[in-house]
Amino acid sequence: MAFLFPALLLGHHVLMTNALLMQLLLLLMARPPNELLMLLPAEAAIDKSSANSISYFDFHVNYTYFTHLCHHKRIVTVNNQFPGPPIIVNEGDRVIVNVTNHLPNQNITIHWHGVRQFRSAWFDGPAYITQCPIMPGHSFLYNFTIANQRGTLFWHAHINWMRSTVHGPIIIRPKKRYGYPFPKPSKEIPIVLSEWWNSDTEAVINEAMQTGGGPNVSDAYTINGYPGSMYNCSNTDMFKIKVKQGHTYLLRIINAALNGDLFLRIAGHNLTVVEVDASYTKPFEGNTILIAPGQTMNVLFTADQALGTYALAVRAYTSAGPKVPFDSSTAMAMVEYEGSSKSFTPVMPVLPAYNDTYLADSFSASLRSLNSAGSPALVPKNIDRHLLFTVGMAVKPCPGQGNCQGPAGGRFASSMNNISFVFPKTALLQSFFVPQASSYKIVNGSGSTAKFHTDFPDQPTMMFDFTGSSQPTNLAPKEGTRLSWIPFNASVEIVLQDTSILGTENHPIHLHGYNFFVVGYGVGNFDNKTDPQRFNLVDPPERNTIGVPKGGWIALRFRADNPGVWLMHCHLEIHTSWGLGMAFLVTNGVEEKDSLEPPPNYLPVC
């Protein structure tokens, strides 16, 4: 016997036994994708003796009207919110999110950015990598467990440029017996950094792809959806943080912007970083943080100044040079002390220069993993696969006899190892992992409907002076859906090398399905003999998104213990659109516990 789960409980925790959990999932998987209802066995009233907690959320993707900068426009939202609703769960929870697409003519997927998705790659979310998109009028049930993770992550759309408005926080509470490795703050405040576009972002990228030129830039940055008073028509369009003098606050900061690395500073206050990408760090104090698109950061600050109002300001860091357009505006929120007079003039911070690469690099280099008994830094010491991937911009010839709007009449392109990634027309994960004798094993892709190759090169196909002033003329990237094959449990080292083919710049690279340790970095070209001698194998920061330094390299290590097809790409959305990405295929292990779980029987179709 079952009943319709009350809507008011969606998003709350319900404790269940494993048996009742299986009943629920079987009920859900038996229903058509567009009729998935949250059905729950009647016996599943809260069972506090169980160790399994299930958190339910209902996401409705639709159009909602918002007004900023004197523009009243329709944007895509989840549950009519911008930013979208928070996912607040506990470490170890099973998370079930029913996503329904109410858009009339656009597909959608949701990616749970930074969630490891151990053995559950089917629910990672990037369109045409782990799933086909959710079509209009259809639903898809995401079902995964938060295993051995705690902290701040976020969710966002992972198709085209819909991330611009479809995003929201993921907050994972640590198990009670662990708590925080720092004094408990008086209050925790999510800070979602994003952009506001007066135009439609899908039209922006479509025009750029058609012309071959660069896209228009955003019209404002936002803090929890508000641009602040530095913009036209925005005097009262401001997010406010109320504080008490002497109290300490935890800011859970998320950069959900499409194309902007961001500096953040609070006037008169220091900021102490205690976590990056849901991994604890040794406390690092300063007056400015740098956060790239796709990164999250937990920061403590103490209200230790005189009563008053202090501005929290955000603006771009760009390393691409003055000829590359970027949004140079400043978003602002206000930190208001309790008991302050409303007549106080806000104290304004002095923000770094937009091109302060020294500050950007030194900030990132100062972060260290906590590496405590409760949060050890399990850095792979012996490496099975050494990979060197070049990343950067280039130009492709304009098709036919046309004259495109990129450099020298060509088209902008970007690549890894001189290959521009092409997203397939059907999901790669489904193409690789197919049913055989009630198990799911990897098969050769030749018989699949997806066109792909598992021969992504371990090294650049052409060696040259990657960051030099003189570059070969035959480096127009080739296009392809090429993956790198990684055996289960292999220890992997990736060196990401910036290139100057079309000018050096910082690239925030995100790896799905894994965290990695940032063991080294440097300026210029990586030297595989001398540079590894300086690697930090003791307490390197653990991340899922990292900026490749402008004109330099960065070295990452991880253990490939999570089978599936995992995208690695630049989180500057325009660079991904131009091809800066690739994917890893990590094979199943020998035992069932080391293999990808079978797919749900309600996967979307392409």
- pLDDT(445) > 60: no
Does some domain include residue 182?
Answer: no
Q: Are residues 168 and 22 in the same domain?
A: yes
Q: How far apart are CA 508 and CA 503, in angstroms?
A: 16
Q: Are residues 356 and 406 in the same domain?
A: no
- pLDDT(9) > 60: no
Q: Are residues 403 and 320 in the same domain?
A: no
Q: Are residues 335 and 435 in the same domain?
A: no
Q: Where residue 30 falls among pLDDT bands split at 50, 70, 90?
A: very low
Q: Which of 122, 144, 173 is the last residue of a domain?
A: 173
Residue 325 neighbours by CB distance under 10 Å:
12
- pLDDT(442) > 60: no
Q: Are residues 206 and 289 in the same domain?
A: yes
Cis peptide, bond prior to residue 325, ω within 30 of zero: no
Q: Where residue 29 falls among pLDDT bands split at 50, 70, 90?
A: very low
Tokens of 178: 């662990």
Domain that holds residue 482: 385-594
Q: Are residues 59 and 140 in the same domain?
A: yes
pLDDT given for residue 401 in this prediction:
73
Q: Which of 150, 173, 196 is the last residue of a domain?
A: 173
Note the helical H segments in 346-489.
Answer: 357-365, 428-432
Q: Where residue 434 falls among pLDDT bands split at 50, 70, 90?
A: low
Does some domain include residue 461?
Answer: yes
Q: Are residues 158 and 261 in the same domain?
A: no
- pLDDT(84) > 70: yes
Q: Where residue 541 falls among pLDDT bands split at 50, 70, 90?
A: very high
Percent of the chain, pLDDT > 90?
A: 81
Does some domain include residue 29?
Answer: yes
Better-predicted residue by pLDDT, 7 or 57: 57
Q: How far apart are CA 270 and CA 289, in angstroms?
A: 10
Q: Are residues 430 and 358 in the same domain?
A: no
Q: How many CA atoms lie within 13 A of 80 on its CB side?
A: 1
pLDDT given for residue 235 in this prediction:
86
Segment 501-519 mean pLDDT: 97
Better-predicted residue by pLDDT, 442 or 133: 133
Segment 489-497 mean pLDDT: 99
- pLDDT(330) > 60: yes
Segment 265-292 mean pLDDT: 98
Q: Where residue 321 falls among pLDDT bands split at 50, 70, 90?
A: confident
Does some domain include residue 602?
Answer: no
Helix (H, G, I), strand (E, B) or coil at 593: helix
Pairing of strands 52-68, 13-16: antiparallel
The mean-pLDDT minimum among 28-42, 283-297, 325-339 falls in 28-42
Burial (CB < 10 A; 0-12, 13-18, 19+), residue 448, is: middle
Q: Where residue 385 falls among pLDDT bands split at 50, 70, 90?
A: very high
Tokens of 229: 């008073």
Q: Where residue 37 falls among pLDDT bands split at 50, 70, 90?
A: very low
Does some domain include residue 599?
Answer: no
Q: Are residues 210 and 142 in the same domain?
A: no
In one-letter notation, the amino acid at residue 98 is: N
Does some domain include residue 380?
Answer: no
pLDDT given for residue 450 in this prediction:
60
- pLDDT(8) > 50: no
| DSSP conformation letters of 277-328 | TTEEEEEEEES-EEE-TT-EEEEEEE--S-SSEEEEEEEEE--S-TTS----
pLDDT given for residue 326 in this prediction:
94
CATH of the domain at 547: 2.60.40.420
Better-predicted residue by pLDDT, 177 or 423: 423
Q: Where residue 400 falls among pLDDT bands split at 50, 70, 90?
A: confident
**Counted domains in the chain:** 3
Q: Which of 314, 333, 365 is the last residue of a domain?
A: 365
Better-predicted residue by pLDDT, 13 or 587: 587
pTM score: 0.91
pLDDT given for residue 52 in this prediction:
57
Q: Are residues 430 and 475 in the same domain?
A: yes
Q: Are residues 224 and 138 in the same domain?
A: no
Percent of the chain, pLDDT > 70?
A: 89
Pairing of strands 419-421, 478-480: parallel
Tokens of 454: 């598992």
Q: Where residue 561 falls among pLDDT bands split at 50, 70, 90?
A: very high
Does some domain include residue 411?
Answer: yes
Q: How far apart are CA 31 and CA 41, in angstroms?
A: 15
pLDDT given for residue 475 in this prediction:
85
- pLDDT(143) > 60: yes
Does some domain include residue 207?
Answer: yes
pLDDT given for residue 24 in this prediction:
52
Closest CA to 200 of 243, 249, 165: 165
| DSSP conformation letters of 83-105 | S---EEEETT-EEEEEEEE--SS
Q: Are residues 355 and 403 in the same domain?
A: no
Segment 488-516 mean pLDDT: 97
